[in-house]
Chains A and B, each alone.
Chain A
Amino acid sequence: MEGPSSASQDWAIEVQGLTKSFGTHLALRGVDLMVRRGDYVVIFGPNGAGKTTLIKVLATIIKPSSGNVRVAGFNVRDSPVQSRRKIGVVSHQTFLYDNLTALENLKFYGRMYDVPNLEERIHEIITKVGLASCLHRQVRTLSRGMQQRLSIARAVLHRPSIMLLDEPETGLDQYATAMLREVLDVLSAGEGTVVMTTHRLEYGLKMGDHVAIMAEGRIAYSKSKQSLDVDSLRQTYYRLTGTAR
């Protein structure tokens, strides 16, 4: 079994020359992305730019066609299971079972991740997302916003050090958005790394401290927020994506 190499200790995510093709369709055409531990990276891009594919490759559920991808120090091609232990994913889908209660859903995922002291951990996390009173309700009876909050609880249940968020704001109500921020703030205070995709500039700029723009399967622009001129980012974004305001 391969352990994290010492050289890559600083890097939560290392992507070099990543390509992914679905048959003759090229979704990713050579992505390079290095994310330091504790960074909060926001990736902008229009639909079809390859954002979701990139997140899925980082989450180890899509195999790269070529290139080198290491997440939490582990190569996603050879040891995806080790990477997965460190990853939490929030997407616009909740990954929750409709006919199970909130508690049963969390218990199921907790057992799959070998979460120690599961009962306590569930109690702790469910209180944090403000759903303690709904623990025994079936997921389908919960509102959309509540389901999204529960899905955040599910994603952080196993204390991941890397959070991957694929357009999390779609379907989140204001409360859940605030909740997500709070959870992520706690996480990044403790060396947690976040990679988020979105196509909404304002939202993304509020959240991240590194920004990148994806277009046509490549990272076309990448800068840290300190050195960032918002207007130039905006212009670049609109130029690259061909969308007018």
Chain B
Amino acid sequence: MKKFLGKVLAILWKDILAELRTRDIVVSVLVFALLVIVIFNFAFEPERVGLVACGVLWVALTFAGVLGLSRSFVLEKDKGCLEGLMLCPVDGDVIYFGKMVGNLSFMLIVAIIVLPILFILFNLPIFRPELVLIVVLATIGFASVGTLFSALAVNTKAREIMLPMLFFPIVTPVIIAAVKASGIVLQGGSLSNLSIWLQVMAAFDIIFLVVSSLVFQFIIEE
């Protein structure tokens, strides 16, 4: 168990080091998310944008997230590093969790920066801590299947299109739950209304973390 964790952290650490040096993923994803928010402003009447703010937030985060996920395994493919990883004496789930935690951290960082900007731009009421919980649960959901499909898409002939085609339909429950839950929070709804949506996301997260880690081996082997 300790060895398992140590190796997951080794993979995470090398991804963080590379990211600190290039800021490839976080910066491009962040700029993309902001662009989505700005474009939505033009698509709706500025006065009514407050009503769709939750929708805008989650559209921005999912589209930007899929962009970051697609980078994740492109870096591994570069110098045959994925093969290097597979040669290591570890099972597939170690590689899966290492990459997943990295993707999760990058997406969370983007979300942490995007949230306050959205609040300011859309002139929304003050921040509520429940939002953090929603963002964390939804992002785990995205990262769980996203990491799996990112590894799958990078091996196909059309990686740019394959990842979103697989990712979006599968995560629809998370998107629905996240939009609904953050809507309830922003309208000052009670915790009891909220809990069902948190449960949907938590169930999705647990189920797909387990299943993805089990089937990841079949994606990377030949």
Distance in angstroms from B28 CB to nearest chain A CB is 15
Which chain A residues numbered 91 to 130 have a C-beta less than 8 Å away from chain B?
Answer: 91, 93-100, 104, 108-109, 111-114
Number of interface residues of A (CB under 8 A): 30
Contact B18–A91 (Cβ < 8 Å): no
- Given the interface contacts A62-B222, A63-B222, A111-B6, does A95 sit within 8 Å of B90 by beta carbon? no
Distance in angstroms from B101 CB to nearest chain A CB is 15
Contact A109–B78 (Cβ < 8 Å): no
Chain A residues within 8 Å of B85, by CB: 112
Contact B14–A59 (Cβ < 8 Å): no
Contact A111–B7 (Cβ < 8 Å): yes
When the two chains form the complex, which single residue of B79, B87, B221 contacts A63, counting CB atoms closer than 8 Å? B221
Q: Judge if A84 is at the interface, Cβ distance under 8 Å.
A: yes
Q: Judge if B191 is at the interface, Cβ distance under 8 Å.
A: no
Distance in angstroms from B185 CB to nearest chain A CB is 39
Distance in angstroms from B215 CB to nearest chain A CB is 15
Contact B88–A93 (Cβ < 8 Å): no
Distance in angstroms from A180 CB to nearest chain B CB is 18
- Closest chain B residue, CB of each to CB of A96: B79
Contact A56–B222 (Cβ < 8 Å): yes
Q: Judge if B188 is at the interface, Cβ distance under 8 Å.
A: no
Chain B residues within 8 Å of A111, by CB: 6-7, 10
Contact A99–B7 (Cβ < 8 Å): no
Contact A97–B79 (Cβ < 8 Å): yes
Distance in angstroms from B81 CB to nearest chain A CB is 6
Contact A108–B83 (Cβ < 8 Å): no
Q: Judge if B80 is at the interface, Cβ distance under 8 Å.
A: yes
Q: Judge if B48 is at the interface, Cβ distance under 8 Å.
A: no
Chain B residues within 8 Å of A95, by CB: 79-81, 83-84, 87
Q: Judge if A87 is at the interface, Cβ distance under 8 Å.
A: yes
Q: Judge if B3 is at the interface, Cβ distance under 8 Å.
A: yes
How far, in whole Å, are A97 and B22 apart by their CA atoms in the complex?
12
Chain A residues within 8 Å of B157, by CB: none
Contact B21–A138 (Cβ < 8 Å): yes
Which chain B residues numbered 200 to 222 have a C-beta less than 8 Å away from chain A?
Answer: 221-222
Chain B residues within 8 Å of A89, by CB: 87
Q: Judge if A81 is at the interface, Cβ distance under 8 Å.
A: yes
Contact A108–B222 (Cβ < 8 Å): no
Q: Judge if A26 is at the interface, Cβ distance under 8 Å.
A: no
**Would you give the 0/1 interface string for B41-85, flagging 1 where the beta carbon is closer than 8 Å to chain A?**
000000000000000000000000000000000010011110111
Q: Judge if A61 is at the interface, Cβ distance under 8 Å.
A: yes
How far, in whole Å, are A109 and B221 apart by their CA atoms in the complex?
19
**Would you give the 0/1 interface string for B1-38, flagging 1 where the beta carbon is closer than 8 Å to chain A?**
00100110011011001100110000000000000000
Which chain B residues numbered 86 to 125 have a C-beta less than 8 Å away from chain A?
Answer: 86-91
Distance in angstroms from A51 CB to nearest chain B CB is 15
Chain B residues within 8 Å of A81, by CB: 89-91
Which chain A residues numbered 25 to 48 have a C-beta less than 8 Å away from chain B?
Answer: none
How far, in whole Å, are A94 and B79 apart by their CA atoms in the complex?
6
Q: Judge if A66 is at the interface, Cβ distance under 8 Å.
A: no
Chain A residues within 8 Å of B78, by CB: 98
When the two chains form the complex, which single residue of A91, A99, A109 contacts B21, counting CB atoms closer than 8 Å? A99
Contact B221–A112 (Cβ < 8 Å): no
25 contacts between A and B (CB under 8 A): A56-B222, A59-B87, A60-B87, A61-B86, A61-B87, A61-B221, A61-B222, A82-B89, A84-B87, A89-B87, A93-B79, A94-B80, A96-B84, A99-B22, A100-B21, A108-B10, A108-B13, A108-B14, A112-B7, A112-B11, A112-B89, A113-B88, A113-B89, A114-B89, A154-B84
- 8 tightest Cβ-Cβ pairs between the two chains A and B: A95-B84, A93-B80, A112-B88, A111-B10, A84-B89, A99-B18, A62-B222, A85-B89
Given contacts A84-B89, A89-B87, A99-B22, could you give 15 more A-B pairs where the C-beta distance is less than 8 Å? A56-B222, A59-B87, A62-B222, A81-B89, A81-B90, A87-B87, A93-B83, A96-B79, A97-B75, A98-B79, A112-B10, A112-B85, A112-B88, A114-B3, A114-B89
Q: Give chain B's interface residues, CB within 8 Å of chain A.
A: 3, 6-7, 10-11, 13-14, 17-18, 21-22, 75, 78-81, 83-91, 221-222
Q: Give chain A's interface residues, CB within 8 Å of chain B.
A: 56, 59-63, 81-82, 84-85, 87, 89, 91, 93-100, 104, 108-109, 111-114, 138, 154
